[in-house]
Amino acid sequence: MHGAWHVGWCWRRVSDRLTAAGHLVFTPTLTGVGERVHLLNANINLDTHIADVVSVMKWEDLTDVVLCGHSYAGCVITGVAEKMESAISSIVYLDAFMPENGQALSDLMPPEHGAAIVKAAQEGQALPARSAAAFAVNEKDRAWVDAKCTPHPTGTFAQKVVTTGARDRIGKKVYVLAEGYPGPFRPLRDKLAATPGWRTYELPCGHDIMVDMPDRLAEILQEVA
């Protein structure tokens, strides 16, 4: 599952490798971004994006799913696990946020940034895309990534997650850290590395692991399936 501003396209390199290995792969684009940017509106929230993924799983009759969420999509897959727990065999947080019950993504940001997000959501503003350079994407792919990113619906960052801990009940739980991105995820990875039932990885690349290291990420997703 892609993160904020990104779309299903960012998974193409990984999905091609997994498909070639015989796996069935879905990389849905969430409402309001990319090829669905024409649906962008102020009413889109986290529930909308959770429903996007749940609908794919239900209509495709998916079971034994390796559910992977990148960055913002850690919030999405946390919500999806609540509705589709029995269909998920592995849950993978890819350099991603992991909200607890009652937390929004804006709560996991520095206070000044979180407050700005809530204000923008109240005003119905979309979030302009951050640059690929800010995410430490490899230099060769930065222009491509910048050209493909679109504004992101702010309500998805402001809505609080409701969870009963379904993700913790899933049999295989994985966290993958991007070592080359100076983001907020190192403490989370370190905490999970010491938590029974969690498997962690660290990869020497920028935040967009699926762009920078598709071969290794495809291997990991098969290892944890």
Q: Active-site positions?
A: 71
The Cβ of residue 223 has, within 10 Å, a number of other Cβ atoms equal to 12
Report the chain's C-alpha Rg in angstroms: 16
Own/partner long-range contacts of 179-186 (Cβ < 8 Å, ≥24 apart): 179/203, 179/204, 179/205, 180/136, 180/204, 180/205, 180/206, 180/212, 181/95, 181/135, 181/136, 181/205, 181/206, 181/207, 182/136, 183/95, 183/207, 184/108, 185/95, 185/96, 185/97
Closest listed residue to residue 156, CA positions, set 59, 79, 54: 79
